[in-house]
Amino acid sequence: MERLARGHALAALGSAQKPAVGVPAYLRWVNRPLGGRVAVEAAVIGATPNQLTAVSAALGAAGVLLIGLGSGPWAPPLAALLLLAGYVFDSADGQLSRIQRSGGPAGEWLDHVVDGVRTPLVHVAVAVYLFRTDAPLALVVVAALFSVLVSAWFLSQLLAEKLLPRSHGSHDGSPSLADSLVKQPQDPSTTYVVVGLLAVPAAFALAYTALFVWQLLVFTVSLRRKYRQLRSP
């Protein structure tokens, strides 16, 4: 891939950003800006979006393995940092493709495959960790159900984007602070931070269960809304 001058990459990045409407707070103010910096530096050295996707996948895999197999109080916080770093690269690959004007269905497909595998595996790893540390069986069940929930949510979102008319997926209006804050619990970063609390059982159990209940409620509402949209003429 041809290398770009940093100034050119910065200009290209600034003119090719996704809308901020409906974007969770961390993704909007932290992850996308960090991903943009990574994308610019990647453009300068001539890296490709798929290479950034591979880094994202590797960091996510390392975090998942550390959750499931690691020991000691340092393991969960380090796993959370690895997952958050992978999330940055997950944002960077798309931004790099827009800088280089190299986006295409293959790259987008690969990015979604990595997301679709990593998202439920985080909760599978949590279930393994809880089982290994003799946590209450009810909490292990919550982790297992969480993996099913995020998989179903991911699939339903992809199918809705494919089947709904474009007008339903448009981003109209101005970005709202309240909307970004309300949607923050649905952002992967919230899950990763909660996972970092695994070494503090009481705090983790409360935060993780509350997060599961919240996401289940929001998912139920989302399913109902999308079903109505799909049924409407």
Q: What is the CATH number of the domain that holds 119?
A: 1.20.120.1760
Answer whether residue 13 is part of any domain: no
| Domain, as residue range, for 144 | 19-165+175-231
Q: How many domains, in total, are found in the chain?
A: 1
Q: What is the dihedral of CA 91, 167, 182, 79, to 10 degrees?
A: -20
Q: How far apart are the first and last CA of the chain?
A: 45
Average the pLDDT over 2-10 and give the result.
94
The string of pLDDT tens digits covering residues 137-153 is 999 999 999 999 999 99
* Residue 91: inside a domain: yes
Does residue 117 fall inside a structural domain?
yes
% the chain with pLDDT above 70? 96
> Is the pLDDT confidence value at 183 over 70?
yes
CA distances 158 to 9, 151, 171, Å, are: 30, 11, 17
Contact between residue 140 and residue 131 where contact means Cβ atoms under 8 Å apart? yes
Reported pTM: 0.95
Q: How much is the pLDDT for 164?
A: 86
Q: State the pLDDT at residue 14.
A: 86
Burial of 51 (0-12, 13-18, 19+ CB in 10 A): middle
As a whole number of angstroms, the distance between CA 83 and CA 195 comes to: 10
What is the mean pLDDT of the segment spanning 80-93? 98
* Assigned token pair, 164: 């709904």
The continuous run of DSSP H or E covering 22 comes out as: none
Residue 89 pLDDT > 60, yes or no? yes
What is the average pLDDT value for the chain, to the nearest integer? 94
Assigned domain for 7 exists: no
Looking at residue 165, its pLDDT comes to: 73
Q: How far apart are CA 162 and CA 49, in angstroms?
A: 23
- Where helices occur in the chain by DSSP H, the ranges are 6-14, 25-26, 32-45, 49-69, 75-100, 105-132, 137-163, 177-182, 188-195, 201-231
What tokens does 161 get?
A: 């984007």
**Mind listing the pLDDT tens digit for each residue in 21-76?**
889 999 999 999 999 999 999 999 999 999 999 999 999 999 999 999 998 999 99
Region 83-90: what's the mean pLDDT? 98
Q: How confident is the model at residue 173 (pLDDT cuts 50, 70, 90)?
A: low
Indicate whether 134 belongs to any domain: yes
